A and B are shown apart, each in its own frame.
Chain A
C-alpha cells in the first residue's frame, strides 16, 4: 500500500518551468563541457531539505517519468520522494544499480561507485549520473584534473570520502563505460564526466 503524500505542504518547483529549466540545463551543459569549473544553478528554487538548491534544480531540469531515481538514506525522508514524484513524475527505485540518476545528500555515506550502473560496451550512454551533495567545493584536498574540456589542468578542491578517488580511477579504467558525477553544494556545482583523469 502506498500512502498518499501530504501535498498541502509540497514545496514549489521552478517559477517558470520552461525558461528556468533551459537556463539550468545550459549551465549544467557548460559544467559538463568544462569540467572542474564551479557553476551556479537553481537561483531561487528551494526544494525540500536536505536537497540543496543545485540538486533540486538538477532534478527538476533533467528527471522525468523515463528516469528512475535512487535516493540515499538521507534523502528518503517524508518530503523528497513525494516532491520528485510530483514535480518530475520520476519513479524512485531501491537499487542504486537500477537508477539513471542517483541523489546522494550524505556524501560521507555514499555507496561505492561500482554499485551504480556504468552502462554497456555497446551502449555506454546508458549509465548513471550521480548527483553528489558535498560539504564544500573549495575546502577539500587539492586534486589535479585533466582531460577533454580542460585546456591545461584544473585544481578543484571538492570534499569527498577518502575512497572516492581510487574508485574514480577504476571508473575511468572502464571507459567508455562509466558513471558521470555532478558535485553540488548550495547553489554551486562542479561536473566530473567519466573522461576526466584525476590525480589526488
Chain B
C-alpha cells in the first residue's frame, strides 16, 4: 500500500514543519521529491539528508507570480520528469483584527496562500491531463472552515483554497486527476510557536484528543491522498485536527 515509486512530487513550503514532514514521508514511500521554498540552506540540508538521487530542490519565492508560474517547469527540469503529485503547502500568516488590518496584510496572505496555489495547479494540470493521472493536495486550515478572530485574511484564503479545489476536482476528474484538501488543526510548528503558553492551554482544552498535532500527522494524510489507493477520493476535505472541529 501507498507505494509512490516512479512518481515525482513537488512540495511547496518544504522548509516549514508540515512541508518538510510531507517531503520526508513521500520520499520514504518511493517518490522523487522536489522541495521548494525560499531558504536555500534549509532546502539543501533537507535534500542532502534524504540522501539519494530521488531528492532535489528549487529555490522559489511564490509571492512572485512569475516564480509561481515557472516553478512547475523548473521542478520538472530538476527531477527530469513531469510532476505527478503537487502539494500546495506554502503559506504565511499576517494576523490582525480586521478593523486594524492593512491592505498589504490582506493582499500578501491572499496572494501567497490562495493565488499562488492556483497558479501552480494551473501549470501542473497540463502535464497531468496529458498523462491522464495526477494528484493535487492543497493544504488549507481548520480556520478556513471555522474562521478565527485575527485571521480574516488567512481564513478567507484557506476557505478559498477549499472552494477552488472542489471546482478543479470537478473539472479534471474525468481525466484521472484528483484534487483534495487537508485542513490541519493546530500543529506544533514554527507557525504556531508564537502562541503563548496561556493561549496553548486554552487551545488544548478544545481538542478532544488532548495534544497539538505533529507535522507527521499531516504527512500521513497527504501520503494517503497521493496514493493509488485514494483513486476514488476527490474534492474532499480531510480534517486532521484532533477533533477540535468535527466537520
Real binding pair: no
